[in-house]
Amino acid sequence: MGQVAAIIGGGVIGGGWAARFLLMGWDVRVFDPDPEAARKIGEVLDNARRSLPGLSDVALPDEGTLTFHDDLAEAVAGAAWIQESVPERLDIKHKVYANIQAACDVDAVIGSSTSGYKPSQLQEGAKRAGQIIVTHPFNPVYLLPLIEVVPSTANDEVMIARASDILTSIGMHPLRVRAEIDAHIADRFLEAVWREALWLIKDGVATTEEIDDAIRYGFGLRWAQMGLFETYRIAGGEAGMRHFIEQFGPCLSWPWTKLMDVPELTDELIDTVASQSDAQSGMHTIRELERARDNNLVTILRGLKAQDWGAGKLLRVQDARVDQLPRTLDDVADLAVPICTVDRAVPLDWTDYNGHMNEARYLQAFGDATDKFMALVGCDADYIASGGSYFTAETHIRHLDEVHAGTRIRVETQCLMGAGKKMHLFHRMLAADRLLATGEHMLIHVSLQTRKAAEPDARVAQPLARVAAAHAALSSPDGAGAAVGRR
């Protein structure tokens, strides 16, 4: 039986928590008296299943089991993690904690999704105050990695470390807040921007769409990959942050902002904001907006991942953490069968106008399989750095069935020949037992100094010969040696 997470409150945030834990291999129990809870969480899960696995270039753990419970005590019993996402009212939260602690394990982590309350406020009157901690996420929880971890003096370091380790294990970034403070860290920034935005609308300076344009076409893109201080460090030029502050610091005393002055939310202002928002986005349903948001986030995050920067760096680390493919030839369980060289989900940005995987991505998947096979037989980064590698001389791909975003694909690689300068590989791409495509590749070993064909040295020649000999007993795969239009 896998680890168990209990989700108390299945709204937008609770549903996101359920999806994150479930798709990272945890069993998830949901308690929510809302009769629509199963439908709402099911829709959140649909979005998560099409987007989250595609952030990873390896297969995620097998999905856990999701269950819904009418009894809170049943939901939390034996759970290692309990996430509270009930309405932002202290009286409700205190009542929920009392019921949770009457039934849960004493060493379970009880995290709160609260965006404003301090942990000491949540812990008031609790049976075990040190069991409750703020773990504030950002929507959508299944894609955005930041979690603000806010302890109080009642939380010991062992408990805080365990909470952080669990969050890290499911691909999140626990940001420990050094002191209890209203609204933690991130929401204080959001609140400042929100106040300024309301004033700009009230004073007739900008509309909701114009304010959103200022963010999404400007500083929002910079913040997405460098944050605030690193962005301003660059703005300081070669002299760095000190020069930036000296140059722009005096502006802080100018009457630019109204941060400490909140506009009254009159019916007129509310109507203005609501009508402008309807004009901006009212043609889309919430589900359509969520999917557009997820598509955009996956594209941005995967772009950052390709650069190994910001949130993308977290994704690379998480891939290494969950990757189950063999690292060396000795890790391969059975050399007498084709070797699994790719096991992953198809990401959203791999699909085309027909709604299925772009043909260039088939080549990418087979190229990744070839790279993995090369590494297994010793042609890894160290070998390549020493001056030897393989260049692809010829490729033939057969597209046999459609592949859609979110589909878990695996590639099985058969070595048809591995002797001298040549390496002849045949890849089969499958979804479960369904054959999707095949790729046949002839590669030539080269010297990176001369850029000409050369014999591989023993570090590669011997392991490659070992695989080739084991695969020699396999039958020739269907499609091998075929040309376009001929079978």
Binding-site residues for NAD(+), please?
A: 9-14
Q: Which residues are annotated as a binding site?
A: 9-14
Rounded Cα gap, residues 426 and 415, in angstroms: 6
CB 58: neighbour CB atoms within 10 A? 17
Q: What is the 3-state secondary structure (H, E, C) of 342-375?
A: EEEECCHHHECCCCCECHHHHHHHHHHHHHHHHH
Q: How many CB atoms lie within 10 A of CB 183?
A: 17
State the amino acid at position 253 in one-letter form: S
Place of tokens 């939310």: 265
Exposure of 394 in the CB half-sphere (CA atoms within 13 A): 12
**Half-sphere exposure in the Cβ direction for 201 (13 Å, CA):** 27
**424 forms bridges with which residues in the sheet?**
417, 442
The answer to whether the beta carbons of residues 373 and 413 sit under 8 Å apart is yes
Two structure tokens written together for 266: 């009159």
- Strands across the sheet with 81-84, in order? 66-69, 27-31, 4-8, 81-84, 109-112, 132-136, 146-150, 173-176
Task: Please work out, in degrees rounded to the nearest 5, the angle formed at the alpha carbon of residue 210 by the alpha carbons of 207 and 215.
Answer: 130
CA 116/CA 113 separation, integer angstroms: 9
Residue 442 pairs in a beta bridge with: 394, 424
Inter-CA distances, 401 with 45, 357, 358, 429, 431, Å: 26, 10, 12, 10, 10
Report CA-CA distances (Å) from 443 to 391, 425, 458, 471: 5, 8, 17, 17
Give the list of residues 6+ apart from residue 360 with CB closer than 8 angstroms, or none: none
Handedness of CA 149, 154, 158, 159 (dihedral sign): negative
SS3 56: coil
